[in-house]
Structure formats: structure tokens, C-alpha cells
Structure 1
Amino acid sequence: MADKKEEKDESAVAEVAAYDNELEEEETPYPYYVFFILGNEFCERYAYYGMRSILVIFLTYFLGFDKDTATVIYHVFAALCYFFPLIGGIVADSYWGKVNTIIYISFVYFLGMVLMTVSAVPQINSGQDVPGTINTVIALVALFVIAVGTGGIKPCVSALGGDQFAENETGKKQLSSFFALFYGSINAGSLLSTFISPLLRELKCLNRADCYAIAFLIPAVLMLVAIGAFLFGKSQYKEKPVSGNIFTEFCGASWSGLRGKCKAETKDKEHFLDYADQEKFSLKRLTEFKYVYPIIVMYLPMPFFWALFDMQGSRFVLTATQMDGVFGSVTIKPDQMQIMNPILILAFLPLFQSLIYPCFEKIGFSMTPLRKMSGGQLITALA
């Protein structure tokens, strides 16, 4: 009798839990204030790519760098843009939080865009119509400040967007649709700016046959709009409390494991992280960190791919300046040749989201984020 009563109690608890889950699913509204984040991302990406698309032409034909030096500056700038996300992530997780980090560093970003615009005004060089050393110095400082800005907010915006969704099945579906829109907003901004900025630089202004100042001013204005869009939704954003940075914790655990293994008299443990200080690092965290190293090995070739991929904004553009750019009845400017990347992404994104992935789901093959990444890497390797 007692066993039957326990079974009934367990069944009742399960029914209540199932009902609560259903109720929770029904009461999970879409957080529409994430569209402020999407608007911010669109404007910021327009600002970034609007400046970067014409950068190597600006360095070569306005500031007078030779092609090799212009290429080096371009790629050092690109490298810094992907170094400062480490700093931005540490600051956000350990000190300021994501929202404040985005706001504060966005103003630094805006300052960099303003400096870039000023560097394109030749008259600051003793009132002459020819740019000089002052223009070059301001431009290089501007590029560093922009790298700090775009890199500093890069790890925070997408993560903050993800934090707005519930951790249930409805929330997961909403999150997937959000990141599709997020990725689409990135490439929509890239597409428009890569098309428009080369047109703007060919206008005539400031007693010259070019107008880089206007071409840089529009991205600066869009960066200011991006800050405004983000601030509009500030009061509604959900933010996880500051709790320390996972990257610094990972580095600390790895260092502790290496030191522990070197000092250990017997080295019979399976992984070097097993030697880490387990009073400082939990067993669960150390187990998670062990999975990182195989992923690092998988990603080791990636810098070589991206180094080549980023050349489409430097050497490919400089090569295109030696061509007429005529494609049928259309003339493509050298710095517009990068436009195919966002065009193809925007074309294939809805195709995959609405047709290809659902087809895989229907045949019982769930397209998890890991499978999507692996498939994309395989296709890229074959290409």
C-alpha cells in the first residue's frame, strides 16, 4: 500500500511539474526590446565596415603610403580589432558589466570615428589642400581608438542579446531566431556601407577631387545613432551580475595545472588539469576546461584562413585598382568588390533558416549549433 501511495505521489508531482513547464512555455513572451540591440548592431557594423571598406584606398591615395605599408597598417588594425575583445570581455565580466561596458566603450569608438573624419580634412595641415604628417598621425591614432572601441564591445553585444531569453524550449527557439536576425543585421550594415562608402569617397569636396571626410563622417554619425538605439532599451535589459571572467579563470586553472604537474612526484593522472588546485577551482569547472583544449587544436588553422580572407580588403582591393571594374553594364569600384560576402550571407541565411535546417529536422537530424559549425567548416575546407 505504501509503495502504491508513493507511486501516486510521484505521478502527481510529475503532472504538476509538466503543467508548470507548459504554463512557463505559454508565458514566455518574446523580448521585443532586443530590437534596440539589433538596431545598435546594424548601425555599428555600418560604421565599422563603412570606414574599413575604403581604408586601404585612403591610406594609399590620400595619406600617400606605399601599397605594402598600407597593407601592413590595414592588417595590424584588423588584428587589434580581434585582440581587444579579450580585454572587453574581462572588463565586462569582472568590473563594469555588459551594459556599461558597451555604453562607455561605444563613446570611445565614436571618438575614434570622429578622429578618422578629422584626419581626412587636408586643411588641418597648415591650411593646405594636400594632407601631411598631422593627417597621418591623427589617422593612426584614430585607427587604434576604433580598434579599442569595436573590439571592446564585440564580446558584449551578442552575449547581452542572448541573456534576454528564457532558458526553456520556447526561449531556445526565440534565441535561435534572434541570432539569425543578429547575423542578418551585421551583414545588412556591411552590405549597405560597402556599397555606399566608395561612392561617397568619389565626391568632390574641400577643394579636392575626392571626399574621404564625408565617407568617414557618415559612419561616425551612424555610430552615434548606434549608441542612441542602445540607450533607448537600457532600462529593459536583463543583465547577469558581475562574477569574474571565464577566460582569466581558464588561464589561471591551466597555469595551476602545469605548475602542479611539474611539482608532482608521480605523474600518473590523465590530464594536466587534474593537477590544478582543487580548492581554488571546482571539479566541475576543471572538467569543462578540459574540453577547451581539443577545440583549441581544431581552431589552430583558423588564423591562416582569416589572414587570407581579410586580404579581400587590402591586396585584393589594391589589385582591383589596376582593373576597369566593368561587369556587363555595371562598373564595380575597387573597394566595392568586398560586397559579395554580405550579399551571399543575406541570400543564404533565410534559405538555411526556413528551408534547409527544417528539412534536416523533419528527417530526425537535429541541427545543433555544433553541427552547423562543423558543416560550415567542412564546406569551407572543400571550397
Structure 2
Amino acid sequence: MPEFKLSSRRVNKLIHSAPFPRHPAGLSTLFFTEMWERFSYYGMRALLVLYLVNALEYPRDQALKLYATYTALVYLTPIIGGYIADRYLGARRAVLVGAAVMAMGHFTMAVPDLLYVALGFLVVGNGFFKPNISTIVGSLYGDNDTRRDSGFTIFYMGINLGAFMSPLVCGTLGERYGWHYGFAAAGVGMVIGLWVFATGQRNLKQGPLTARDGLVVVFTSMVTLITVLSIVGLWATFSGWWSGLSGLWQGGIGLSVVALLWWFPSLYRAGVWGLSKKSTDGANQGRRRLSRVEMHRIFAIAIMSQFVIFFWMGFEQAGGTMNLFADKLTHRQIGDWLMPASYFQSVNPLFILVLAPLFSLLWVRVDRSRFALSSVTKQAIGMLILGLGFVLLALAQEQADLYGTVGPQWLLGVYLLHTIGELCLSPIGLSMVTKLAPAQLVSMMLGFWFTAVAAANYLAGMLESLLVESGLPLYWFLVGSSTGAGLLLLLLAPLIRRLMHGVK
């Protein structure tokens, strides 16, 4: 039998060759980059609340509040990362910086004493990565290319392939063998994503990375890491967390503060601000006054961003209350095997992988027919379907209150409906922003879009505590909020379409 050697060149060819024949070759590189980044994010997300409650013995409400703060900041920092990319770094340099910083964050999660430092790295790294990878996807297509929505749906499959694998790998390692193994596995995934993106530049418009790009990425990553250490260190001096650290960690964080205040400003000015003037992907391009049409389109993005808050406020219960529902109220015993609760985090991405190709074809067919739906209408439909999912979950909660636990089919049904709603809203929303935003502000507008998601994530974690005094059941409240927002958006759709000036 002939020997088969899987060389690095062959691996590169397998990853970066175009498996999507009707789409640009660069979509393959971005698909696998995002797949591994989401592997790392969702692996950590599947473990975080369970780790806080079961390992660190956080009270339920405190664990949900920390989860809410973390996920909110994860989606808040992209507006800053988008601005820095548009103005100084360029999208691909920002992606490289974000990937490097997030990898450091995941590995740091394996050290229990550095929980807040690790979360800080993840939050800031995501700010550089998240809006700019979507910007690069949008740049693969022309303004009126009908493949754009389909391309973003395929890209969304990459997100969910990583999200499907990560709870199975990270969840098994974390819940069965030790939490730090699960977090370290997430870090390995992020390193692979960084490698895929760095080696796949030939498929993108900017061409291979230059030495100048490398210097900018290294300097910016160093500044970012030390800035996070400094902020956490300054915060820690005013909290009890600081006193619980060993002298070694106290000294290291203290030195980071000194380095930030005295040394790095001059290094950063010399290294980054000077080098970034010749970005290879359009950063720092000349600014001009926005036209009336562009202002209207930005206003349309702003209106839509307020509506998606209601969607993500409900959807992001998956990592919080629904994760705990799976852990405490769902029957998971199969013979002698107790299924890890984190495995339920793979259900939504599994449904995405099954349904996304169908939706990708569906949108192309529908958009070319006389029954074409605007992106606004698609997103409104997504909100209504999310509301149906919460009807099912509210009924499951009532059954659990009566009998102690419920069968897993309840959560499976909820995740199916939520997945259909997500496919109607999330990739369509990202595609819409890249079509509506002025060329020089695409990353910043995506960051603005993710700011709405940040607000939704924060509300998702805080909502249960906020509703306690009112006596409103959480899931019935979410039925009303998501359904009401969807119906109102349908009513406002004609007005928003006028603001979009022909963009569908």
C-alpha cells in the first residue's frame, strides 16, 4: 500500500482551494479562518457559566451577570476595532492582531487566578477580529452582486461548523477531564485560525503579507496585551481580587502598568503610526463628506440595529439560562452515560450546518423571483420565528416546574426554531450592513451593528434578575418582546426600504 504523506503544502492547498465554485476563492480562506475562531469562542462560551457555577461556586445570578458583561463587551469592542481598522491598520492587519490576542486569552483561561485578565484579552481581541473578517467577506463581492447574501450564508456555515465542534471537544475535555483542558483546546483552535488566515492571503485582493504588515501586527498585539494587563491591574488594586494573587502575578501586572505608561506610547508611535500609513488594504484612505444617500443608508442601519437587540436578547439565552436549563432541568442520562450539558450548545450549529445550504439556495432563488423579499422583511420573519421558539421553551419550563426535569426533545425543538430565525436574520443583517455602509466606513458600521448585539447580550444575562420583582416569567416575556419587535419591523419595512435607496 503506497505511503500517503500529508505535507504542509498539501494541507494549504486543501484549505485554501475554492470548494464554493460559484464564489470567489477567498471565501474558502475566510470560511476556515472564521470556523476556527468560532471554535475557540463557542468552546469557551459553552464552558463559562458551567465553570463559574460548578467549579468556582458562583451564585447563579452572579454567574449570569458576569456572562452578560463578558458577552456584551465582546460585541461592544468591535466598534473601536472597526474604527482603528478603517482609520489606521486595515482590515487584515486587524484580523491578525485580534486572532493573536484572543489565542493568548484562551490559554490564559487555563490559569484560574487570571480569569479577568483572560476575559479582557478575549474581549479586546474580538474587537479587532469580529468586524474586520466580515468586512473582508463583503469586499469579495461587487455592490450589486446577487451572490452576496448566499456568500454570507456560506460564511455563516463556517461559523457554525466551528460552533458545532467546539462544545463536543472543549465540553468533553472541560467537564470530564478538567476545565483548563477545555479552555486550552479553545486556544489551540484560535492558533489554527490565525495560521489559516496568514497563509491564505494569495486568495484575497491584498496579496501576500509584507514585512511591514508583520511589524505592525506584532507591535499592535504587544500594545494591546499590555494595555489589557494594565487596565485589569488598575481595577484589581481597588478590589479584593488583587490580594488573592501571588506576588509573581502582582509584580508582572504592575510592570505592565509601568510599561504602558512610560515605554509603549513612544514605541507605538514609532512602530505603528508610522508604518500604518502604507496599509496594503485601504486603511487611512482619504476621507470625504458623506452624501445624502449615504447618510440615509447609515440611518437605516441605525434603525435596524435597534430591532436586532430584541432578537439577540432572546437568542443569547442559549449560553446562559438555556445552558443552565440543560444542566439542571433536562434529563440527560442515557444508560450508564450522563451526557454533558455543554453538548446542547452543539445543537444550534448542527441545525445551521443542515439548513444553511438550503437557505443559501433559497435566498438566491427568491431574490431572483417576483416574490423577492427585502433584507428588512427577512429579518422581521426571523424575529417572529424566534418568538415561536420561546413559546415552546416557556411550556417546557412549566413542565419542569411540575415534574423536576423534562426530556431533551423540548430543547431540541426550541433550538430548531431559533436556528431558522437566526438564518433569516444574522447572515442577512451582516450582508445588509456591508451593502449599505460607505466604503470607507464598512468596518466601523459593522462595529456599530455589533454594539447593538452587545446591548442585547448584556440584557440577556441581566433579564432574569430584572424580571424577578415584576413576577413576569422570563420565557413568556421573550415571546412578547421578539414577536412584538418582528411585527413592528414589518410595519416599518416600507420606510426603511426607502432609506436604503434601492439596496435590497
TM-score exceeds 0.5: yes
Once the two structures are superposed, residues 121-142 of structure 1 have per-residue CA deviations (whole angstroms, 9 ceiling, x without a partner) of: xxxxxxxxxxxxxx2xx01110
1:178 aligns with 2:148: no
1:191 aligns with 2:164: yes
1:376 aligns with 2:376: no
- Structure label with greater radius of gyration: 1
8 Å contact from structure 1 (residues 325, 333) kept in 2: no
Give the superposition deviation at 1:241. Answer: 1.3
8 Å contact from structure 2 (residues 37, 193) kept in 1: yes
Matches of 2:300 and 2:131 in 1, distance apart? 22
TM-score (norm 2): 0.53
Residue of structure 2 equivalent to 1:5: none
Residue of structure 2 equivalent to 1:338: 345
Give the superposition deviation at 1:224. Answer: 0.5
Could you say if the C-alpha distance between residues 297 and 36 of structure 1 is closer, same or farther in structure 2, counting changes exceeding 3 Å?
closer
1:320 aligns with 2:320: no
Residue of structure 1 equivalent to 2:289: 281
Matches of 2:282 and 2:386 in 1, distance apart? 38
- What amino acid is aligned across from residue 334 of structure 1 in structure 2? A
Once the two structures are superposed, residues 150-189 of structure 1 have per-residue CA deviations (whole angstroms, 9 ceiling, x without a partner) of: 2321000021122133556xxx244444322210010111
Give the superposition deviation at 1:35. Answer: 1.5
8 Å contact from structure 1 (residues 33, 236) kept in 2: yes
Once the two structures are superposed, residues 223-277 of structure 1 have per-residue CA deviations (whole angstroms, 9 ceiling, x without a partner) of: 10100000002244224412469xxx9xxxxxxxxxxxxxxxxxxxxxxxxxxxx
Matches of 2:363 and 2:200 in 1, distance apart? 32
Give the superposition deviation at 1:321. Answer: 2.8
- What amino acid is aligned across from residue 314 of structure 2 in structure 1? L
- What amino acid is aligned across from residue 156 of structure 2 in structure 1? Y
TM-score (norm 1): 0.68
Give the superposition deviation at 1:29. Answer: 8.6
Residue of structure 2 equivalent to 1:241: 282
- In the alignment, structure 2 segments of 5+ residues that lack a partner are 1-20, 207-280, 390-504
1:348 aligns with 2:355: yes
- In the alignment, structure 1 segments of 5+ residues that lack a partner are 1-27, 120-134, 205-210, 250-279
Could you say if the C-alpha distance between residues 369 and 290 of structure 1 is closer, same or farther in structure 2, counting changes exceeding 3 Å?
closer
Matches of 2:284 and 2:326 in 1, distance apart? 49
Give the superposition deviation at 1:81. Answer: 0.4
The counterpart of 2:61, out of the listed 24, 49, 68, is 68
8 Å contact from structure 1 (residues 325, 332) kept in 2: no
User: How many residues in Structure 1 have an aligned counterpart in Structure 2?
Assistant: 294
Where in structure 2 are the equivalents of 1:122-133 lying within 5 Å? none
The counterpart of 1:94, out of the listed 87, 109, 112, is 87
8 Å contact from structure 1 (residues 44, 223) kept in 2: yes
Once the two structures are superposed, residues 89-116 of structure 1 have per-residue CA deviations (whole angstroms, 9 ceiling, x without a partner) of: 0011000000111112211111111111
Give the superposition deviation at 1:320. Answer: 3.1
Matches of 1:229 and 1:102 in 2, distance apart? 12
Could you say if the C-alpha distance between residues 99 and 45 of structure 1 is closer, same or farther in structure 2, counting changes exceeding 3 Å?
same
Residue of structure 2 equivalent to 1:141: 117
Aligned-residue CA RMSD (Å)? 2.9
Where in structure 2 are the equivalents of 1:1-383 lying within 5 Å? 30-119=23-112, 135=113, 138-166=114-142, 172-204=145-177, 211-239=178-206, 240-243=281-284, 281-282=289-290, 284=291, 286-293=292-299, 295-323=301-329, 325-326=331-332, 331-354=338-361, 356-357=362-363, 360=366, 363-381=369-387
